[in-house]
Structures are given as structure tokens and as C-alpha cells.
Structure 1
Amino acid sequence: MGYHHLALACTDIQAIHDFYEGVMGFDLVKVEVQPVHEGGWAKHFFYRMEDDSKFVAFWELHEVPGVGEIETNLSRAAGVPDVINHISFDVIDRADLMRRKQQWLDAGLRVLEVNHNWCHSIYTRDPNDNMVEFCLTTGSFTAEDRRTALAALSSTEPAYSKPPASVEVAKPG
């Protein structure tokens, strides 16, 4: 089971569209325009990720009472460091991951690449200032991994994980 869609508020739908369709390669396939129960109205834009069952969606709000300045950075809104709340998309293989990295660089974006030892990730920021990630699982999970994860549920002392195998920053141009 996966999720159907992730829905986020935005303040600049054109910038969101330029990024998610133009840079990420997701297709805008649907918009729902509707009144908001509390008042005002909204547009809900759906971007298809790989098929008609997986989407990332964005809300553009209009005249909704009590809604002032919207903080679209999920981590900043929650009061946590930027790397905590982020959006991660999968890729099919290493070639796809490197293709995505080049897409971002060609779009003028800075790319952080991290080999986490069990997965390989690239990160950049979207127009909402959220960290977005493409991630490739490169390892498998063992019974020991599960025991360690279960023990961490109740541990009060940190048992640090092995540091990433590599961390690199690529700048456009």
C-alpha cells in the first residue's frame, strides 16, 4: 500500500507548476475548485507522479477567513531543522537517480547527494522552500536491523548509526 497523494498549501502556484511539471517532470492532470467550509474558496492542483494512483497536490487559497501569511516550509512551520520534514520520491535505479540530479542541475538548482549506506539520495528545495528528495534503496534489511529499530523505540541514550558513506554538494554550471 502506498499513499494516493500528499497535499500542501502554496503561495505561488505558478512557481510550484514550473518546478513540479517543468523540473520534476510530473504532469498537472486535475484541478478541483471549490468553496472552503470556513469561507472563501480554493483550487486543489494534482500532479501525477507515475500513474493515476500517485500524486503530489497543492492548495491555492482565496479569501479564506483567518488565513494570513502561510508558512509553506513544513519544517519551519513545525519549528524543527529544515532536514526533518521533507518530501521523498522514489526512483527505479541509479541511472534514474543520476538523470534526476542532472535535471535539477540543468534547472539551476543546487543538489546535495548523500549515500546513506542503505539508500542513495539527492536533495534540493522546491518553491515552497521544502527539501525534496529522490531516493534509491540500495541495501536490504536484516533481522538485526529490525532488532535495532525496535530497541530504539524505548532507548533513552543515542546509539548513533554509521555515518553516510559520502556527502557531496553539486552546484549548477
Structure 2
Amino acid sequence: MSYHHLALAAKDMAAIHEFYEDVMGFELVTVEIAPVMGGGWGKHFFYRMDGDDSKFIAFWELHDVPGQEDHEFDLNLAAKTPPGTNHISFGVDSADQLNERRQQWNAAGHDVLEIDHNWCHSIYTRDPNGNMVEFCLTTGQFGDAERERALAALDEKEMKPTPPPAKMKQWLASEYQG
């Protein structure tokens, strides 16, 4: 079983399109336009990731939906969770690809946070809905010890922290030299 698509509502579909197609490099491939459960109608836009016809991110542009003026599009604000808790992560295959994505975000005017989590290396920015998006490269391997630690954490009631990140760096768009 694999991931097929994640669907989210868009606050500003034009800004979402520009970010996910021009900045992220995903391709808008189709739209479904239909009534929405509960009333109103929507356009459901699908963006193909990395040319793979089995993996998409999709966005709803909603119209005439009851209560629409109260919709919250930032996942963490909607859930009342700390910033960055709910986020969208996309995979890359190499450190070069991760660096290219960081440069692409900076060149498009987005600040980037880079974190080496000791088992994966990530970069983060925010999309036009305010949601944190991530590109992530798995750098570690998982064995019995990692699984045992994870299973033990399921029952722990006190914080037993893992090692801190090996690296954290903020890449400001204003300092990007291209």
C-alpha cells in the first residue's frame, strides 16, 4: 500500500497554485468540479509530484459552502496545536536534491529551516495556507534497538529525550545569493 494523495482546502487557490507548481515544482494535472457534501460546490485540483502518476497533493477551492467565512486553513491553528506539529513532508532521494530544494525555496523568497534529526535531514518552509511543508532525506537505518526505543516510548509518561539535532540552520531568503 502506498500514499496516493493528500487533500486540503485552499485559502487562496491562485497563491497555492503558484507555490505548489512554480516553487515546489509539482504539476497541476487535473481538476474535479462538483457539489460538496453539506452544501456548496468545489474545484478539486490535483498536483502530480515528481512526474509520478500515483502520488499527488490536492487542494479544494470551495464556493458557497455554509460557514465558509469561518474556515481555518492553517492545520495547526485549526487543531489548536503548536506551530509545525501538523505538517506536510515530501521525500527526496539525495543530499543534492535537498540542497536544490532549499535553494529553490530561498530563490522564491521563502525562509528555510534546516534540521539534521540524526536519522533524517529536513528543510522546512510555509505554504500560502500557513502550513509547514518539509522536504526530507532519510539518512539512517532502523534496527531492533530503534524499534525497542519507539515501543517503550508508547507507555512513557515522562520526557526521556532523544539526542538533540546534529545541525540546525536558518536560511533566510533575504540573504540568498543564488
Structure 2 counterpart of 1:63: 64
Alpha-carbon shift at residue 39 of structure 1 (Å)? 1.8
Alpha-carbon shift at residue 29 of structure 1 (Å)? 0.2
State the superposition RMSD in angstroms: 0.9
Structure 2 counterpart of 1:42: 42
**Partner Cα distance (1:10, 1:70) in 2:** 10
Alpha-carbon shift at residue 65 of structure 1 (Å)? 1.9
Corresponding position: 1:111 with 2:109 = no
**Partner Cα distance (2:163, 2:106) in 1:** 29
Structure 2 counterpart of 1:145: 146
Residue deviations 1:26-76, cap 9 Å, x none?
000010000123221100000001311000000011001233232111011
Following superposition, which runs of at least 4 residues in structure 1 exceed 6 angstroms of deviation?
none
**Partner Cα distance (1:69, 1:60) in 2:** 15
**Partner Cα distance (2:78, 2:138) in 1:** 29
**Partner Cα distance (1:123, 1:23) in 2:** 13
Aligned partner of residue 53 in structure 1, secondary structure: strand
Count of residue pairs brought into register by the alignment: 173
**Percentage of matched positions with identical amino acids:** 60
Matched residue type, 2:13: I
Structure 2 counterpart of 1:82: 83
Aligned partner of residue 68 in structure 1, secondary structure: helix
Residue deviations 1:67-98, cap 9 Å, x none?
32321110111111111000000001000000
Structure 1 counterpart of 2:9: 9
Structure 1 counterpart of 2:73: 72
**Partner Cα distance (1:144, 1:27) in 2:** 40
**Partner Cα distance (2:162, 2:128) in 1:** 32
**Partner Cα distance (1:66, 1:127) in 2:** 21
Matched residue type, 2:133: V
**Partner Cα distance (1:153, 1:37) in 2:** 37
- Give the TM-score taking structure 2 as reference length: 0.95
- Give the TM-score taking structure 1 as reference length: 0.97
Corresponding position: 1:133 with 2:134 = yes
Residue pairs, 1:149-164, within 5 angstroms: 149-164=150-165
**Partner Cα distance (2:164, 2:78) in 1:** 28
**Partner Cα distance (1:13, 1:165) in 2:** 37
Structure 1 counterpart of 2:32: 32
Structure 1 counterpart of 2:92: 91
